[in-house]
């Protein structure tokens, strides 16, 4: 029975396992594991090409025990500060941590990457990945910790001898203690490469069963592929959120027949409506029968589901949605079938559809509000033309202009999907409205020139309204009261804030105009709701300068 992995004392069993037959037709995992150790340590250079595939991100949607405590940034920093590794050697190690999460899940092991320090004084842990399929045997965060030379003899032995250190009982492929694997640098012109790091495998002790047997066997095959530079395969998109081993796993034969399906994988296909047994079925035919998507079948999806190509696919019908990720398996003798990771994403798809419905409803609300406000604005302007009292006419016209400005903001929000809006479009819409109304307020026959320069980009819908209304008020004051000939609006981003400067060449703002009703309202919204600022002042060269500054997100987020 295996015990929790600890560094073995001198004289611990380092057995040479014998080859025994297995139902799957593969050689004994103990022998294959040792062959993998030799091949991986001699072919680290082949993994450099894997770097472009990046890391395996978390699947999300449920708590995950697996944590990848290594990153390209932390590895690069530790290697530069604590070791004498070259950039090429660091790149070799980065390619390894980009794909070792899947291997840790299948190997039921914590993997720790140890780098020898520049002065040969010991080791620094540069990476740690924990399995999502088993409890961790390394509860502490080792990344960045130092291990003096002599404290971990197996690390020192792997470095000095250049050979893997195994602790396995005779006839077993399960380690009984921490195993260490030397990783070599890319080979030089003579075909030699020095040992640049040691990978420690901490197996989690658990009872053996068919599930664990398939996991460990598949892990050996994947590590063989990694050693030869064949993993990850083209089409392996690490930027997406793939299914995890714990979500569900299917093992396919070279002919695409299901040899093994984990309980979670079987449950996912049962939810799709599969009644017969999944094992023994041809997965591509099962997927085609269960999928109710209209149109001809996608040949690429058939290749992925059949395990003949690496990539992602989805099976969706009225009952459920399931995402799949296929990883073909190969060794020196040729194809060895594939593994297909399975994840039930029915709830995620339902949430996405609900979100789309909510966004459509919100845009419809903005559209209706815009229509109603435009009607109110038109009625106010019509009424202002009917009254005879000058003061009443100006008050009604002022109210109509403000209502129209708010309607313009809702018109933009009705067109923009999501919870963000292009602030430049909002400003352009308000300035277009100001140009239309300027003949009613401008003095003389020359209309003011109103322009926008600069870009602010997208902002949250909560943060767009108040500064847009402030711009409308300031521009209107420049036209009606300052009699400006030129008005410039300059939106920009600065230090995570949206900043808008409004400059005119008019007569300059008076104190009573700076505290008018319209500006009082928008100042309250900007300062209290958005935690921004609104400042107004005279320019030395004449005219008025205004600055509106608000955070990129709404005040509730700060």
Residues 477 and 511 in one domain: yes
pLDDT digits (tens, 9 = 90+) for 373-385: 888 988 888 888 8
Three-class DSSP category at 372: helix
pLDDT higher than 50, residue 492: yes
Q: Which helix (H) or strand (E) holds 513?
A: helix 511-514
Residues 297 and 355 in one domain: no
- Domain membership of residue 2 (yes or no) is no
**Looking at residue 258, what is its pLDDT?**
93
| CATH code: domain of residue 466 | 3.30.565.10
Three-class DSSP category at 168: strand
| CATH code: domain of residue 320 | 3.30.450.20
pLDDT digits (tens, 9 = 90+) for 113-131: 999 999 989 999 998 888 8
User: For residue 325, what are the β-bridge partners?
Assistant: 312, 341
**Looking at residue 463, what is its pLDDT?**
78
The residue among 263, 234, 216 whose CA lies nearest residue 52 is 234
- Domain membership of residue 23 (yes or no) is no
Torsion of CA 469, 471, 474, 479, to 10 degrees: -110
**Looking at residue 170, what is its pLDDT?**
58
The number of domains in the chain is: 4
Residues 122 and 190 in one domain: yes
Residues 330 and 315 in one domain: yes
Residues 39 and 169 in one domain: yes
Three-class DSSP category at 463: helix
- Domain membership of residue 22 (yes or no) is no
Bond into 232 cis (ω within 30): yes
User: For residue 342, what are the β-bridge partners?
Assistant: 324
User: For residue 18, what are the β-bridge partners?
Assistant: none
pLDDT higher than 60, residue 34: no
Residues 340 and 251 in one domain: yes
Rounded mean pLDDT of 87-112? 83
pLDDT higher than 50, residue 22: no
**Looking at residue 250, what is its pLDDT?**
93
- Sequential DSSP letters for 419-452: TEEEHHHHHHHHHHHHHHHHHHH-SSSPPPEEEE
CB 325 within 8 A of CB 340: yes
- Domain membership of residue 434 (yes or no) is no
- Please state, in angstroms and rounded to a whole number, the distance separating the CA atoms of residues 310 and 300: 10
- Domain membership of residue 21 (yes or no) is no
- Angle, in degrees to the nearest 10, between helices 390-415 and 461-480: 150
- Domain membership of residue 296 (yes or no) is yes
- Please state, in angstroms and rounded to a whole number, the distance separating the CA atoms of residues 378 and 380: 5
Domain that holds residue 102: 29-206+216-227
- Domain membership of residue 425 (yes or no) is no
Q: Against a cut of 0.75, is the pTM above it?
A: no
- Which of 418, 435, 458 delimits the end of a domain? 418
Q: Measured between alpha carbons, how far is residue 470 from residues 283, 488, 489 in Å?
A: 61, 14, 12
- Which of 227, 260, 277 delimits the end of a domain? 227
- Domain membership of residue 235 (yes or no) is no
Q: Which two tokens stand for residue 370?
A: 């815009």
Residues 173 and 268 in one domain: no
Residues 481 and 457 in one domain: yes
Pairing mode, strands 195-203 and 109-116: antiparallel
Residues 86 and 192 in one domain: yes
| CATH code: domain of residue 180 | 3.30.450.280
Pairing mode, strands 458-460 and 497-504: unpaired
Residues 296 and 365 in one domain: no
Rounded mean pLDDT of 16-45? 39
Residues 413 and 536 in one domain: no
The residue among 106, 104, 45 whose CA lies nearest residue 70 is 104
Residues 325 and 452 in one domain: no
- Which of 293, 326, 344 delimits the end of a domain? 344
């Amino acid at each position: 029975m295996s015990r929790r992995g600890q560094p073995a004392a001198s004289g611990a069993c380092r057995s040479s396992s014998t080859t025994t037959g297995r139902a799957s037709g593969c050689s004994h995992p103990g022998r294959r594991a040792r062959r993998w150790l030799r091949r991986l340590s001699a072919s680290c250079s082949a993994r450099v090409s894997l770097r472009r595939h990046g890391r395996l991100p978390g699947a999300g949607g449920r708590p995950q025990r697996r944590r990848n405590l290594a990153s390209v940034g932390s590895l690069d920093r530790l290697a530069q500060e604590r070791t004498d590794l070259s950039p090429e050697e660091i790149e070799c190690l980065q390619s390894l941590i980009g794909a070792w999460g899947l291997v840790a899940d299948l190997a039921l092991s914590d993997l720790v990457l140890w780098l020898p320090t520049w002065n040969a004084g010991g080791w620094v842990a540069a990476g740690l990945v924990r399995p999502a399929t088993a409890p961790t045997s390394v509860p502490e965060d080792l990344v960045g910790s130092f291990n003096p030379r002599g404290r971990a003899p197996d690390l020192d032995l792997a470095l000095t001898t250049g050979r893997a250190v195994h602790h396995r009982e005779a006839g077993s492929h399960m380690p009984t203690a921490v195993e260490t694997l030397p990783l070599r640098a890319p080979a030089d012109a003579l075909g030699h490469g020095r040992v640049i790091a040691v990978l420690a495998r901490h197996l989690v002790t658990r009872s053996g069963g068919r599930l664990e047997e398939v996991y460990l066997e598949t892990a050996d095959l994947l590590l063989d592929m990694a050693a030869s530079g064949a993993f990850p395969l083209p089409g392996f998109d690490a930027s997406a959120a793939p299914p995890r081993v714990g979500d569900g796993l299917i093992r396919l034969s070279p002919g695409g027949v299901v040899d093994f399906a984990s309980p979670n994988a079987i449950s996912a296909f049962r939810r799709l409506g599969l009644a017969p047994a999944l094992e023994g079925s041809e997965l591509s035919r099962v997927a085609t029968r269960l999928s109710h998507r209209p149109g001809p079948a996608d040949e690429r999806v058939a290749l992925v589901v059949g395990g003949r190509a690496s990539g992602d696919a989805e099976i969706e019908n009225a009952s459920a949605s399931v995402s799949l990720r296929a990883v073909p398996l190969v060794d020196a003798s040729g194809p060895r079938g594939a593994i297909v990771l399975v994840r039930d994403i029915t709830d995620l798809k339902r949430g996405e559809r609900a979100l789309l419905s909510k966004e459509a409803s919100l845009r419809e609300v903005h559209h209706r509000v815009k229509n109603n406000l435009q009607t109110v604005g038109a009625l106010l302007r019509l009424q202002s033309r009917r009254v005879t009292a000058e003061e009443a006419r100006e008050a009604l016209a002022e109210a109509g202009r403000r209502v129209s400005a708010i309607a313009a903001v809702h018109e933009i929000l009705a067109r923009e999907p999501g919870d963000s809006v292009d602030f430049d479009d909002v400003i352009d819409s308000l300035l277009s409205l100001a140009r239309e109304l300027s003949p009613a307020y401008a003095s003389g026959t020359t209309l003011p020139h109103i322009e926008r320069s600069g870009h602010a980009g997208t902002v949250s819908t909560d943060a767009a309204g108040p500064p847009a209304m402030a711009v409308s008020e300031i521009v209107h004051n420049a036209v009606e009261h300052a009699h400006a000939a030129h008005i410039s609006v300059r939106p920009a981003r600065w230090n995570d804030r949206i900043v808008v400067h409004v400059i005119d060449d008019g007569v300059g703002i008076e104190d009573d105009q700076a505290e008018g009703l319209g500006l009082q309202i928008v100042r309250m919204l900007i300062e209290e709701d958005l935690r921004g600022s609104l400042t107004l002042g005279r320019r030395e060269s004449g005219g008025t300068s205004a600055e509106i500054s608000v955070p990129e997100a709404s005040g509730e987020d700060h």
